[in-house]
């Protein structure tokens, strides 16, 4: 009896700490980025940092929570970018209306790719890569009136960096909030169970197909939004940049650097790696790519659980409190 | 059959042979080490660059470059094994860790090639005498036929090695059951290093042959070959080297025939599409193993 | 008394191998049905067919009156049956509490209520102090206990235990026997596979002996122990 109440108190105490930390995280992140324009800090740098935070966080839904590593993740980003560009340029939509549709396009694409969810680890990764390449090829070869051929599309004189900046912030906060909710929700637990042992989960009443699909759609929504907002920000969309494999590469690296399976992991990773990328690019513009590659290898060999993941490995008790 | 189609078929076999080599080494590495070599394409292109350097600087024919590439890549591979792989086996999720590791390696390799050779595409203007040989109604470049011959030899040697020699049988046994082979006393570390080095060696040879068969290559051409390699091993069944050989030729023919009838870009889509359809419809590949989670 | 679980003439073939050949059994509330036999007799295959992991080639499975033959495993689970495995299948990278939450994710009760219940069960299984640890950090014996705790979380009416005592320390074994007796006392139908004859004789009301996919004998403990076919096939001379 007594110990029962004690563990309940213990649980409530743990929950309180978790949500306090989560709120603190939210406040810090929001305040910092909101103040960037007012202190004259580099808007472009911070825009992309927010974008990578969002991409890495969303990737974590697929990889950390669900156990799928889509090496063709850029497909969602690209479809979002093109959806926004086509709606704005060809159909005259306002950007504010077009960007959410980018998210919808991402979800639709994820449904198209859903049959791949029954594949294991590497097969899934490889097929994902091939599917992204197919998307890119198809769009490049669509008629120029639709998708701009190899020159791409320009959104017209609608480049308003500051508006795009704040929209990106909104998307980022939505993504973080979604993952925070998910990490505590029953969907999150179901995803993890299906990740760890799908047959056993099924024998416990979890409908693994449906659960996987939900996680997958959520994971596809945010990169598509990112593509849309970035299209607004840079004002131009073309298949080279919208479907560039480097987008997936950076997303994967930033997420892994921070640590998969936690909410803070990808955020920490994206921030740290954005800074490192910026510093390296300024100092060593030529060997940038080489350093990126070596960094991935070093991460995998020496810090496989990422920054946050390694901390939690050393202090497993903290897992309850750290979002 | 029109001359175009015969051309497509012949080229399909030639190109397919190269794809078969790509698949063979990838398959072997996955089978023995459960390592998915995302950097395979970049290793192959590095082999092409070696042939390029040997030709442009020393005037060496690509045929001479073959053994040099094979041996030097083998040695590098042996060393690379001990630097990279032992740590992986201690990680939580060795398979994921291995493909992230090789992903990084592929980026680093492409970057190194970019730094050394810059972004321009290169080619080897080596002509054999005669330049082309007629096969039926079409003229096929001698360089390509030579490449086919070398491919056939290498494949035959590999097949003989895998099925008739003791180390080869050990490799195949390791593919089937890693634990069991250690119990019967095989030094798995050395066997694994050997498999790794062998992959590198075959990659080097494949690279030289690619320089002979394809018109040009650049530091980033590797990605394309990696994807083709994966398509081939999935078609042939992951971990099944002989299946990879057959699948490679099949895929090469399909790809080249597709370019006869369709535009280049569409032919590429056909290729990738085949991969996707195969996995969804017949997940074990044409001959192979379990892929579902 | 109506049977909570009723298997009729179950047959399952894998290619040329007949793993189950016309197996029938029944267990009612509060009954412990022990299943014995050599390795490869078909005991685990039987459990796999009942819980929906395999689709039987013929025969029926009825759980609590409902026909669940050939239904997918998540549907069968919802009929009120739970099981453990020979080698524990815990959700490795989830905490113990989260492990227990998995079978009840679709329940309408609040998280607080369900977590309280999970904590109560963990306490019964002496795992309460480890509730926030990841399942992979537990020892083999503790993982077996975790599996049992997780199985009981959704109050299944039928439970199936596949060799719970295998490789387990005698003290832990005694503890498990107590817990299994509790399950029967609560009115559950218990199917129990084990090679630990002492334990299975103690717990079971009824036994079936299997060999080569068939039920070669069934009856009370004494009957089975003295049955010549069973002695021949399994117990030894």
The pLDDT tens digits for A182-206 are 988 999 999 999 999 999 999 999 9
> Are B275 and B284 contacting, i.e. CB atoms less than 8 angstroms apart?
no
- A67-77 b/e (C-beta count within 10 Å ≥ 16 → b): bbbbbbbbbbb
Instruction: Assess if residue B187 is contained within a domain.
Output: yes
- Closest Cβ–Cβ partner in A134, A286, A305 for B115: A286
DSSP letter for each residue of A130-165:
HHHHHHHHHHHHS-HHHH-TTT-EE--S---HHHHH
The answer to whether C119 faces chain A, any CB pair under 8 Å, is yes
> Are C84 and C99 a contacting pair, CB within 8 Å?
no
Question: A15 burial class (0-12, 13-18, 19+ CB within 10 angstroms)?
Answer: middle
Q: Is A142 on the interface with B (CB under 8 A)?
A: no
pLDDT at residue A55, rounded to an integer: 97
Q: Please, are residues C109 and C115 in contact by the beta-carbon 8 Å criterion?
A: no
**Radius of gyration in angstroms for the set of CA atoms belonging to chain C, rounded to a whole number:** 18
pLDDT in tens, C192-212: 999 988 899 999 999 999 999
- Mean model confidence pLDDT for chain B: 83
d(CA B149, CA B155): 10
| Whether C77 and A205 lie within 8 Å, measured CB to CB | yes
Alpha helices, DSSP H, located in C8-92: 43-51, 73-77
Using CA atoms, how far apart are residues C68 and C79, in angstroms rounded to an integer? 8
Which chains would you list as touching B if contact means 3+ CB atom pairs under 8 Å? Answer: A
- The region of weakest confidence among A72-86, A276-290, C9-23 is A276-290
Q: Which of B12-21, B242-251, C101-110 has the lowest mean pLDDT?
A: B242-251
Q: Name the nearest CA neighbour of A143 among A90, A67, A196.
A: A90
Q: Residue A1 above 50 pLDDT?
A: no
Q: What is the CATH number of the domain that holds B45?
A: 1.10.3470
User: Cis ω on the peptide bond leading into residue A269 (within 30° of 0)?
Assistant: no
**Coil/strand/helix, residue C49:** helix
- C85-100 pLDDT, tens digit each: 999 999 998 999 999 9
The span from the CA of B43 to the CA of B217, in Å, is 13
For residue B24, what are the CA distances in angstroms to B30, B201, B260?
Answer: 10, 12, 27
Report the chain C residue with the minimal C-alpha distance to residue A204. Answer: C103
Name the residue with higher pLDDT: A144 or C42.
C42
Is residue B156, in this structure, part of any structural domain at all? yes
Q: Is residue B62 part of a domain?
A: yes
8 A C-beta contact, residue B70 and residue B231? no
pLDDT at A145 over 80: no
Encoded tokens for A100: 């959410």
Tell me, yes or no, if A294 comes closer than 8 A to chain B by beta carbon: yes
Q: How far apart are CA B35 and CA C174, in angstroms?
A: 45
**Residues C102, C137: contact at Cβ < 8 Å?**
no
Q: Nearest Cα to A33, choosing from A12, A50, A18, A8?
A: A50
A192 interface with C at CB cutoff 8 Å: yes
Instruction: Compare all CA atoms of chain B with the CA of A289 and give the residue at the minimum distance.
Output: B111
DSSP string, C145-205: HHHHHHHHTT--SEEEEESTTTT--HHHHHHHHHHHHHHHHTT-EEEEE-S-HHHHHHH-S
Instruction: Please give the pLDDT value at position B178.
Output: 66
Chain A contacts of B235, Cβ < 8 Å? none
Cβ–Cβ gap A205/C51 under 8 Å: no
**Lowest-confidence pick of A241-255, B108-122, B274-288, C5-19:** B274-288
Whether the CB of B276 is below 8 Å from some CB of chain A: the reply is: yes
Is A125 part of the contact surface with chain B (CB cutoff 8 Å)? yes
Strand C3-14, strand C17-28: pairing: antiparallel
Query: Is residue C56 within 8 Å of residue C10, measured between CB atoms?
Result: yes
Q: What is the pLDDT of residues B57-72, one digit of tens each?
A: 888 888 888 999 999 9
**Interface predicted TM-score (ipTM):** 0.90
For residues A10-17, give the mean pLDDT: 85
Contact C105 A206 (CB under 8 A): yes
pLDDT over threshold 70, residue A163:
yes
Helix boundaries (H) for chain B: 3-33, 40-58, 62-88, 94-117, 142-164, 166-176, 178-183, 188-213, 222-236, 241-261, 264-281
Distance from C-alpha of B111 to C-alpha of B220, rounded to nearest angstrom = 9
Structural domains counted in chain B: 1
Average pLDDT over residues B159-174: 79
How far is A211 from chain C, CA to nearest CA, in Å? 11
In this complex, do A205 and C120 lie within 8 Å of one another by their Cβ atoms?
Answer: no
Alpha carbon distance C153, C114 (integer Å)? 9
Q: Are B272 and A300 in contact (CB < 8 Å)?
A: no
A53 pLDDT above the threshold of 70: yes
CATH of the domain at A118: 1.10.3470
pLDDT at C234 over 50: yes
Q: State how many domains chain A has.
A: 1
**Looking at the domain assignment, is residue A2 inside a domain?**
no
Spell out the domain ranges in chain C.
Answer: 3-93+141-235
In degrees and rounded to multiples of 5, residue A190 shows phi and psi of -65, -45
Quick check: A208 contacting B, CB < 8 Å? Answer: no
**Mutant choice from B46, B100, B115, B235 vs A, greatest count of A C-beta within 10 A:** B100
* Mean pLDDT of chain C, nearest integer: 92
What's the confidence (pLDDT) of residue C1? 64
| DSSP assignment letter at B60 | -
Rg value, chain B, Cα: 19
Determine whether domain C3-93+141-235 maps to CATH 3.40.50.300: yes
A291 to chain B: closest CA residue? B108
Nearest CA in chain A to B89: A301
pLDDT band at A9 (very low <50, low <70, confident <90, very high): confident
Nearest Cα neighbor of B118 from B8, B188, B218, B213 is B218
Tell me which chain A residue has its CA closest to the CA of residue B223: A245
> Reduced to 3 states, what is the DSSP secondary structure of residue A223?
helix
Instruction: State the residue for tokens 């049956």.
Output: C81
- Residues of A with Cβ-Cβ distance to B223 under 8 angstroms: 245
Chain A residue at shortest CA distance from C131? A7
C49/chain A closest Cα distance in angstroms: 12
Taking all residues of chain A, what is their mean pLDDT, rounded to a whole number? 88
Burial of B57 (0-12, 13-18, 19+ CB in 10 A): exposed
Give chain C's largest Cα–Cα span: 57
| Contact with chain A for residue C131, Cβ under 8 A | yes
Q: Which chain A residues contact residue C116 at CB under 8 A? A: 4, 8
Range from A133-147, A230-244, C143-157 that averages highest in pLDDT: C143-157
Domain limits for position B188: 3-122+130-281
Judged by CB atoms closer than 8 Å, whether chains meet at A4 and C123 is answered as: yes
Q: Is the pLDDT of residue B17 over 70?
A: yes
Report in angstroms the alpha-carbon separations of A136 from A33, A157, A242, B254, C212.
33, 26, 9, 21, 56
Asked if C223 is an interface residue toward chain A (Cβ–Cβ < 8 A), one would say: no
Name the pLDDT band for A150 (thresholds 50, 70, 90). low
Tens of pLDDT, residue by residue over B32-61, are 777 888 899 999 999 999 999 988 888 888
SS3 state at C217: strand
Is the per-residue pLDDT at C23 higher than 90? yes
Rounded to an integer, what distance in angstroms lies between the CA atom of residue A202 and that of residue A207? 6
Question: A289-298, B165-174, B283-292: which range is least confident on average?
Answer: B283-292
Full domain range(s) for residue A277: 10-320
Residue of chain C with shortest Cα separation from A209: C74
Output phi, psi for C210, to 5 deg: -120, 150
* SS3 assignment, position A246: helix
Give B60's Cβ-side CA count (13 Å radius).
17
The CA distance from B23 to B3, in Å, is 29
Q: How many CA atoms lie within 13 A of B116 on its CB side?
A: 14
CA distances from A187 to A60, A182, B56 (A): 14, 6, 60
Q: What is the distance between the alpha carbons of residues B74 and B203, in angstroms, rounded to a whole number? A: 9
Q: Is residue A240 part of a domain?
A: yes
Instruction: Report residue C60: phi and psi, to 5°.
Output: -130, 155
- Around B142, how many Cα atoms within 13 Å sit in the side-chain half-sphere? 11
- Residue C218: enclosing H or E segment and its boundaries? strand C214-219
**Which of A297, A303, A305, A316 is the mutation pick for testing B, counting most B CBs within 10 A?**
A297
**Local structure of residue C18 (DSSP, 8 states):** E
- Tell me the nearest-neighbour CA distance from A293 into chain B, angstroms: 4
User: Residue B291 has what pLDDT?
Assistant: 47
Residue A203 at interface with chain B, using a CB cutoff of 8 Å: no
Do the Cβ atoms of A279 and A318 come closer than 8 Å? no
pLDDT in tens, B247-287: 899 889 888 888 888 777 777 788 788 877 877 777 665 55
Which residue do the tokens 């001990």 mark?
B82
């Amino acid at each position: 009896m007594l110990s029962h109440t004690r563990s309940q108190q213990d649980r409530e105490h743990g929950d309180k700490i978790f949500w306090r930390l989560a709120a603190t995280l939210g406040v810090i992140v929001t305040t910092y980025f909101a103040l960037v324009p007012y202190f004259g800090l580099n808007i472009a740098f911070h825009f992309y940092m927010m974008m990578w935070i969002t991409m890495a966080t969303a990737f974590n839904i697929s990889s950390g929570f669900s156990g799928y590593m889509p090496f063709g993740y850029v497909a969602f980003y690209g479809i979002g970018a093109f959806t926004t560009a086509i709606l704005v340029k060809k159909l005259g939509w306002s950007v504010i209306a077009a960007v959410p549709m980018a998210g919808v396009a991402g979800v639709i694409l994820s449904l198209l790719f859903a049959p791949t969810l029954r594949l294991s680890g590497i097969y899934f990764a490889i097929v994902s890569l091939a599917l992204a390449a197919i998307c890119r090829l198809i769009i490049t070869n669509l008629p120029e009136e639709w998708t701009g051929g190899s020159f791409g599309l320009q959104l017209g004189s609608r480049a308003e960096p500051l508006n795009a900046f704040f929209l990106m912030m909104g998307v980022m906060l939505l993504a973080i909030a979604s993952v925070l909710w998910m990490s505590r929700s029953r969907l999150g637990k179901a995803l993890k169970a299906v990740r760890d042992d799908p047959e056993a989960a099924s024998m416990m009443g979890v409908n693994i197909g449906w659960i996987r699909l939900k996680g997958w759609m959520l994971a596809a929504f945010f990169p598509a939004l990112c593509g849309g907002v970035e299209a607004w920000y840079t004002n131009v969309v073309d298949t080279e940049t919208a479907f560039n494999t480097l987008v997936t590469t950076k997303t994967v690296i930033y997420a892994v650097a921070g640590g998969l399976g936690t909410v803070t992991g990808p955020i920490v990773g994206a921030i740290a790696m954005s800074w490192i990328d910026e510093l390296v690019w300024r100092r060593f513009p030529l060997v940038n790519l080489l350093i990126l590659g070596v960094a991935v290898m070093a991460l995998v060999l020496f810090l496989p659980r990422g920054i946050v993941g390694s901390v939690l490995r050393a202090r497993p008790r903290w897992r309850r409190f750290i979002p | 059959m029109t001359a175009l189609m015969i051309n497509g078929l012949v080229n399909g076999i030639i190109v397919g042979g190269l794809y078969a080599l790509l698949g063979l080494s990838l398959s072997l590495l996955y089978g023995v080490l459960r390592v998915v070599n995302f950097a395979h394409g970049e290793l192959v292109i590095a082999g092409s660059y070696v042939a390029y350097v040997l030709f442009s600087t020393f005037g060496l024919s690509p045929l001479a470059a073959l053994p040099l590439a094979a041996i030097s890549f083998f040695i590098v591979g042996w060393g690379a094994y001990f630097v990279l792989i032992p740590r992986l086996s201690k990680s939580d999720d060795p398979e994921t860790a291995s493909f992230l590791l090789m992903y990084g390696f592929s980026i680093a390799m492409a970057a190194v090639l970019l730094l050394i050779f810059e972004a321009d595409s290169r080619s080897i203007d080596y002509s054999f005498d005669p330049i082309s040989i007629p096969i039926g109604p079409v003229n096929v470049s001698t360089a390509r036929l030579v490449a086919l011959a070398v491919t056939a030899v290498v494949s035959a040697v590999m097949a003989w090695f895998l099925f008739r020699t003791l180390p080869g049988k050990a490799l195949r046994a390791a593919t089937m059951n890693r634990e069991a082979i250690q119990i019967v006393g095989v030094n798995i570390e050395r066997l694994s290093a050997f498999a790794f080095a062998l992959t590198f060696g075959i990659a080097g040879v494949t690279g030289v042959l690619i320089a002979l068969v394809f018109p040009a290559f650049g530091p980033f051409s590797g990605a394309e070959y990696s994807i083709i390699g994966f398509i081939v091993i999935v078609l042939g069944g992951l971990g099944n080297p002989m299946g990879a050989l057959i699948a490679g030729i099949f895929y090469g023919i399909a790809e080249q025939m597709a370019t006869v009838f369709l535009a280049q870009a569409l032919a590429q889509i056909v290729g990738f599409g085949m991969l996707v359809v195969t996995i969804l419809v017949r997940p074990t590949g044409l001959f192979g193993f379990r892929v579902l989670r | 008394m109506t049977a909570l679980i009723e298997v009729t003439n179950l047959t399952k073939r894998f290619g040329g191998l007949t793993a189950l050949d016309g197996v029938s059994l029944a267990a009612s509330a509060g009954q412990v049905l022990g299943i014995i036999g050599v390795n490869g007799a078909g005991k685990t295959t039987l459990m796999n067919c009942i819980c929906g992991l395999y689709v039987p080639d013929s025969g029926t499975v009825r759980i609590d009156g409902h026909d669940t033959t050939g239904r997918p495993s998540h549907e069968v689970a919802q009929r009120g049956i739970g099981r453990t495995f020979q080698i524990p299948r815990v959700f490795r990278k989830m905490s113990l509490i989260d492990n227990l939450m998995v079978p009840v994710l679709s329940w309408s009760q609040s998280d607080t209520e369900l977590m309280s219940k999970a904590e109560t069960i963990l306490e019964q299984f002496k795992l309460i102090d480890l509730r926030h640890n990841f399942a992979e950090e537990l020892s083999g014996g503790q993982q077996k206990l975790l599996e049992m705790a997780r199985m009981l979380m959704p109050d299944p009416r039928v439970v199936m235990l596949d060799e719970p005592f295998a490789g387990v320390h005698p003290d832990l074994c005694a503890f498990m026997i107590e817990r299994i007796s509790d399950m029967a006392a609560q009115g559950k139908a218990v199917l129990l596979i084990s090679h630990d004859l002492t334990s299975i004789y103690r717990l079971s009301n009824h036994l079936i002996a299997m060999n080569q996919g068939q039920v070669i004998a069934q009856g009370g403990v004494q009957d089975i122990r003295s049955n010549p076919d069973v002695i021949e096939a399994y117990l030894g001379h």
